[in-house]
């Protein structure tokens, strides 16, 4: 997939009309009259009658290419259980990532619940942390006019992104407008990279699951952490990964490797769109989402594994190789893969079981980098090092830690002294008389109530349950911990509760 540039495109919009509205610029132009098979289906008014078309659960028009493929239906009870587990993880994300990362990986392999997929992708990719670290940055970029040499190229690509999805079916609709905003913002955020056509389907998939601002920061993480250098001008990173993929193929499927070597087929001819678009334009949609779930958790290793599985099952036997005698037949086989090998359950199982590790990928990366330097010289693109998955990204960029403010867990009346103060709480006269009557009836000597008991009685009926708070006047404590440890523990508990309630306000579950 070539790097886009604005030299051969139509007239670039002037500064004043740069983004007056994508609707006008999209519906008018030299190629507006000629509609190809990838063009949008109608305007906003036509989309209002969208209910007449049948839409699948992913938002695609039934019968379109994106809606094809057998779906792996999860029982409703199992889905609800998974949602409950994911909500617990997302509300305590740092703890799970620090202590139970393997459990997160296993649950990503099983598939993230659709209702929580967008939110989970933000947490896994570190996009949520980026948003918190850069408040208002996207709005600032969104208000800027943008570089004219990229605006026209982006607009010409909008209608090509999933034209049979209800979000992008309308020219100039809200989906295409948000896609324009995200892609334009990235060209301003990284002007040295600009815009690459392969970024459009990546951003479109993100927009199907989250608002534009969150999608922008997830796109930033993909371009900078997961696939650094993929969208640079010379596409050196994707060329290097093509050589890595071909070398790994020799170990995974010697038959397929030998056939591709004999036919002298460069890896870029079949793997460029696979890797740069993260298979979003190759696999059935249910398989795309499952692959992305694992990709956000485990990194580029999943992309390599998917590519190796497809090559292995497309060209991995003598019978299949015999049907591909030349380069043309081989390329056509890889462009029109069998639906069986792309089916969700089969593909995910093969990807999980394929023995290709991060260490093997990095070892091959060093080997291919050395060969590149010997034959072509130094790389011109100085991209940051690739991070393998959510754990590595979190370790490299930990999220901000909220300051814990002390907050008592027992609320007291205004006239009641604070626990631990020298002043002793005195029961009311009516309470003293009632206690005296009770003690006389039992024939027991009168004793003043214990200070901690009075505190509990004073706090009765409060929203928080009464707890035992040690006081200076009570019995000596056996523990060597300071006496104010209980308020600190409760303060931490209250802070965790406030964080949880804040997270639950996220409308994109």
The answer regarding whether domain 120-229+390-400 maps to CATH 3.30.70.120 reads no
- Averaged over 120-131, what is the pLDDT? 95
The answer, yes or no, to whether residue 427 has pLDDT greater than 60, is: no
- Averaged over 387-394, what is the pLDDT? 92
Distance (Å, whole) CA 335 – CA 333: 6
Q: What is the pLDDT of residue 412?
A: 60
Among the listed ranges 121-130, 141-150, 242-251, 471-480, which one has the minimum average pLDDT value? 471-480
Q: What is the DSSP letter of 472?
A: T
- Averaged over 323-351, what is the pLDDT? 92
List the structure tokens of 290. 């499952």
Residue with tokens 């028009």: 61
Taking the whole predicted model, whether its pTM rises above 0.85 is answered as no
The answer, yes or no, to whether residue 479 has pLDDT greater than 90, is: no
List the structure tokens of 328. 């043309």
Among the listed ranges 70-79, 238-247, 312-321, 419-428, which one has the minimum average pLDDT value? 419-428
The answer, yes or no, to whether residue 275 has pLDDT greater than 80, is: yes
| CB distance 276 to 223 below 8 Å | no
| CB distance 411 to 462 below 8 Å | yes
**Alpha helix stretches (DSSP H) within 208-284:** 212-221, 236-252, 254-263, 268-276
The answer, yes or no, to whether residue 316 has pLDDT greater than 90, is: no
Q: What is the pLDDT of residue 139?
A: 95
Point out which residues pair with 180 in neighbouring strands: none
Predicted confidence band at 376 (pLDDT cuts at 50, 70, 90)? confident
Question: pLDDT tens-digit profile of 299-313?
Answer: 999 999 999 999 999
Q: Note the residue count of the chain.
A: 509
Predicted confidence band at 486 (pLDDT cuts at 50, 70, 90)? very low
Q: State the virtual CA torsion across 244, 250, 251, 253 in degrees, nearest 10.
A: 120
The answer, yes or no, to whether residue 458 has pLDDT greater than 60, is: no
Q: What is the pLDDT of residue 213?
A: 96
Q: Where are the domains of the chain?
A: 76-110, 120-229+390-400, 233-382
**Alpha helix stretches (DSSP H) within 277-357:** 285-298, 301-315, 318-322, 327-335, 339-342, 344-353
Distance (Å, whole) CA 165 – CA 143: 28
Q: SS3 helix, strand, coil % of the chain, rounded to 5?
A: 55, 0, 40
Question: pLDDT tens-digit profile of 203-243?
Answer: 999 999 999 999 999 999 999 999 999 998 888 899 999 99
Q: Do domains 120-229+390-400 and 233-382 have the same CATH topology?
A: no
| CB distance 452 to 475 below 8 Å | no
In degrees rounded to 5, what are phi and psi of residue 64?
Answer: -80, 170
Question: Could you say which architecture CATH assigns to the domain 233-382?
Answer: Orthogonal Bundle (1.10)
Distance (Å, whole) CA 461 – CA 457: 9
What average pLDDT does the structure give for the chain? Answer: 77
The answer, yes or no, to whether residue 132 has pLDDT greater than 60, is: yes
Distance (Å, whole) CA 222 – CA 476: 58
| CB distance 201 to 162 below 8 Å | yes
Among the listed ranges 20-34, 146-160, 253-267, which one has the minimum average pLDDT value? 20-34
Predicted confidence band at 105 (pLDDT cuts at 50, 70, 90)? very high
Q: What is the DSSP letter of 55?
A: B
Predicted confidence band at 418 (pLDDT cuts at 50, 70, 90)? low
Q: What is the pLDDT of residue 207?
A: 97
Question: pLDDT tens-digit profile of 84-95?
Answer: 999 999 999 999
Question: pLDDT tens-digit profile of 159-200?
Answer: 999 999 999 998 889 999 999 999 999 999 999 889 999 999
């Amino acid at each position: 997939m070539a790097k886009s540039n604005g030299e051969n495109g139509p007239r670039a919009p002037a500064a004043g009309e740069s983004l007056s509205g994508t609707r006008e610029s999209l519906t008018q132009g030299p190629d507006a009259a000629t509609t190809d098979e990838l063009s949008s289906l109608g305007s906003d008014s036509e989309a209002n009658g969208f209910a007449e078309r049948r839409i699948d659960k992913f938002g695609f028009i039934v019968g379109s290419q994106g809606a094809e493929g057998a779906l792996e239906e999860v029982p409703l009870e199992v889905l609800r259980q998974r949602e409950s587990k994911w909500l617990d993880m997302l509300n305590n994300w740092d703890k799970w990532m620090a202590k139970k990362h393997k459990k997160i990986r296993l649950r990503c392999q099983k598939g993230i619940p659709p209702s929580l997929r967008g939110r989970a992708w933000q947490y896994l990719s570190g996009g949520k942390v980026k948003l918190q670290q850069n408040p208002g940055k996207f709005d600032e970029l969104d208000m800027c006019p943008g570089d004219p040499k990229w605006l026209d190229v982006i607009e010409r690509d909008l209608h090509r992104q999933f034209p049979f999805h209800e979000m992008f079916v309308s020219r100039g609709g809200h989906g295409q407008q948000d896609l324009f905003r995200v892609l334009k913002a990235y060209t301003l955020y990284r002007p040295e990279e600009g815009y690459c056509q392969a970024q459009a389907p990546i951003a479109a998939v993100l927009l199907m699951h989250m608002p534009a601002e969150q999608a922008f920061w997830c796109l930033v993480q993909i371009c900078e952490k997961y696939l650094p250098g993929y969208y640079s001008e010379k596409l050196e990173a994707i060329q290097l990964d093509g050589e890595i993929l071909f070398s790994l193929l020799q170990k995974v499927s010697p038959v397929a490797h030998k056939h591709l070597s004999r036919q002298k087929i460069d890896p870029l001819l079949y793997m460029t769109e696979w890797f740069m678009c993260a298979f979003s334009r190759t696999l059935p949609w249910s398989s795309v989402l499952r692959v992305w779930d694992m990709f956000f958790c485990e990194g580029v290793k999943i992309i390599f594994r998917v590519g190796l599985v497809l090559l292995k099952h497309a060209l991995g036997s003598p019978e299949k190789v015999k049907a591909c005698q030349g380069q043309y037949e081989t390329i056509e086989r890889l462009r029109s893969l069998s639906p069986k090998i792309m089916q969700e359950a089969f593909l995910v199982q093969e990807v999980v079981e394929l023995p290709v590790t991060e260490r093997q990928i990095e070892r091959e990366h060093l080997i291919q980098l050395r060969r590149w330097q010997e034959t072509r010289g130094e790389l011109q693109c100085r991209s940051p090092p690739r991070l393998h998955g959510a754990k590595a990204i979190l370790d490299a960029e930990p999220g901000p830690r909220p300051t814990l403010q002390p907050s008592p867990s027992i609320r007291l009346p205004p006239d009641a002294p604070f626990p631990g103060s020298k002043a002793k709480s005195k029961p009311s006269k009516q309470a003293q008389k009632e206690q005296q009557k009770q003690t006389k009836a039992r024939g027991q000597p009168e004793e003043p109530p214990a200070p901690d008991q009075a505190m509990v009685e004073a706090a009765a009926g409060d929203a928080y349950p009464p707890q035992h708070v040690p006081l200076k006047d009570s019995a000596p404590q056996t523990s060597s911990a300071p006496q104010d440890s209980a308020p600190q523990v409760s303060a931490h508990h209250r802070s965790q509760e406030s964080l949880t309630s804040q997270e639950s306000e996220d409308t994109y579950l």
